[in-house]
Structure 1
Amino acid sequence: MSYVKPAELITSMIDAGESKILMSTRDTLIRAFMGGAMLTLGAAFAVTVSTQTGQPLLGALLFPAGFVLLYLLGYDLLTGVFTLAPLALFDRRPGITLGGIGRNWGLVFLGNFAGAFLVAVCMAIYFTYGFSTEPSAVGVAIGEIGHGRTLGYAEHGAGGMLTLFIRGMLCNWMVSTGVVAAMMSTSVPGKVIGMWLPIMLFFYMGFEHSVVNMFLFPTGLLLGADFTLVDYLVWNEIPTVVGNLVGGLTFVGLMIYATHGRTAPKRVVLTRPNGKSFAASPTRVPAHMLSRSDA
């Protein structure tokens, strides 16, 4: 059977988190760099398809290609380590500390940004023939995305910031589900299917992914879009990172760990003196069942 049951899945998740924290600086940066680059190439592909066909759903259907390839190759995304790394600490694995988790997150952030920015520069050159012409239709579309997802949020003030945070949270709920789904199967087709579905959902719904945005917004800035670096950081990247952390760790990592890694004892069946049975917690036997007067 290629299906990995949840009780075994949580062990794989904890092992993965431990491995990422203990990984060398060199390997962490390389894997994060390639993860950021491959994911954002997939984003560039999806935006190109959506723009040229006028069918956003088609772009969403194809976007997971980059995500699937990067995870099959063992590369890392910030959104994934947000979910997996803390589990090793919760499980009290030797040598795992808060400092180690922070180091891993910081290195993956830097690597992801470097990979995404490289793709942003390459695509900006591609969209403008080396900055010698106006941006292509796809370049214009990316600029509009950057404007709408910075100043568009800012127009709504606190409500816009809340919406941005929620979109970031929902995004990594889905993306981290995709990361974990890849561990639910031991076959390549099973891993691909498990990853594809939640990633397609997040992209089509317009949720906010910190690493994808490391490509979209710098590309827009390079192409002269109508927003600033400060707009990007304050009204997108920073709140998105926080939302991604909360969504992935809370609704994926902690939930699976709580119910499958630290499963509570099952209720047991007890029989009253009158012969009727009922279920109760094994740590709590009703007092009247211990009373001689009830016998």
Structure 2
Amino acid sequence: MRRRILRTATIGLVLAIAALVVPDSAVKSTEVALVKVDRANGVDLTPDVVWILAVGSDARPGEDMTRSRGDALQLVGMDTRTGAATAIGVPRDSWVPIPGHGYDKINASLYFGGPQLLGQTVGNLVGIQPDYVFISRFKFFQAMIKDIGGIEVDNPVAFDDTYLKPQGFPQGKIHLGGYDAMAFSRIRHNLLRGDFDRSANQQRVLRGIQAKVRARADVPGFIEKGVLSVMAHLSTNLPPAELFRLAQAMAQVEPRKITSCVVQGGIGNIGGASVVLPYVDMARRLGNEARNDATIEHC
């Protein structure tokens, strides 16, 4: 029973930050980071809601992924009292005020001030300041998907991309390997609603990862291998005890209690660049609705 409890806590860590099962040889420590936001005090995980900003970094080889432009932004909340969880997607091109830097695309805040400033900027938009910021490179993401045997997602509309996926993704339930999961998460140009549909696709991928890891959680050595690999490659400012408490909180998430929405907005052109003009009132409504119980009733 004791072993089962420890394994369950570990499963949660893999599930909620969605990129923590990779072969030891696949990545280096610079491929993934978990940063505690300065404003967050010691986390009392019972009965509080814990918020993690999950970020996909488009940093090139040799670049610092914590000071690049974030490509995927998902604010994930977990209610340790009920097992509920929610993801609020924020389009990366959202034109917002960045503290100390005027207006810019929201993903530029990672470049300007690292995870702390990105967390503050997203928090200002949604009205919920994250406790942690989790950042991973796409190479790490692909290795994780490959290692767990790929994932299944329900794709509502067929789409393709000349460069990333010329043969396209068909409508319906499809299997994604490492590269395809990355492409499915990144493509936006041929999607009807561009950045908004891409953010929704990222949430579909997160659900697929969660489902696969849960399905394999009882395979002997699967979770243990993943956690040992993570600890070897994870860059973090958290002490081990807090990592364990965070894992316990994540372990309580129930798939049937997961909800997700994407912040919508208008499309504009500023300085020759296409930007998203986010509906701030919607972002705040989603934040207000999810703040106390990590649940969104409707988008």
More helix by share: 1
Look at both structures and tell me which one has the larger radius of gyration over its CA atoms: 1
RCO comparison, higher one (Cα < 8 Å, 6+): 2
Greater fraction strand: 2
Check whether TM > 0.5: no
TM-score for the superposition, normalised by structure 1 = 0.24
